Amino acid sequence: MTTLAKIDNSAVLAEFTGGSITDVAMMIGIGLVKDSDAVFFQYLGEEQPAQALSYPSGKPVTRMANVRLNGIEVVDGIGEFASTKLNLFLESSAGTIVMLTSGLQTIWSQCVITGLMGLVGDGKLDSAICLDTWKGTSKMRPCFAAIRCGDDKMTDQLTYDTLADARSDRNKEKTVELMRDYVGMIKGALTGGPVEETVVTVDEAAAELF
């Protein structure tokens, strides 16, 4: 069950960007406000709007540095519109885990999956990575992402090509099918076991926050 915790926002940001150690968790949405330059938004609870994550200078946080993949899942039927989401669990060097969540079909999610499949192909899925996120310049300002392992940008050409073909065909069903398959592959490689379908329960208050 996914629960929301009261957290020290600045402490968590410091940890994930190279600062002090803290022992809290954070749920983060991607690109929730189109007109904002921010890309990461912290969910604060049912009664409060999500808060843009930024440095004390006001500059938006765009990188999750020195983290490892802790888990990945697809969750269906979330919120008022019964959305399908990609949930990505990242663990800091101190062991704190944050969950990043975005629509399964979004460009951001497809970028993340392409990068993770690159890690799988190179046998580096358990390596420390940096996750960079930025906004595009088109009217809808979609979020993009890149995964780097050391100095190398991780990608998988087959994953990139198949998702690009599905987008060009405007085939949403195919995109969803591909994304589910890739998440299953990544999860299997991460756990070292057979791929199993996971049923995730989210309490009613948290469900509306995705």
Q: How many domains does the chain have?
A: 1
pLDDT at residue 93, rounded to an integer = 92
Lowest mean pLDDT of 15-19, 56-60, 114-118, name the range.
15-19
Q: Say if 147 falls within a structural domain.
A: yes
Q: Say if 3 falls within a structural domain.
A: no
CB 30 within 8 A of CB 108: yes
Residue with tokens 């087959």: 158
Paired with 49 in beta bridges are none
Tell me the residue range of the domain where 21 lies. 9-207
CB 109 within 8 A of CB 102: yes
Residue 82 carries which DSSP code?
T
pLDDT range class, residue 13, cuts 50, 70, 90:
very low
pLDDT at residue 15, rounded to an integer = 43
Q: Say if 70 falls within a structural domain.
A: yes
- Taken in order 89, 81, 204, 35, is the CA torsion positive or negative? positive
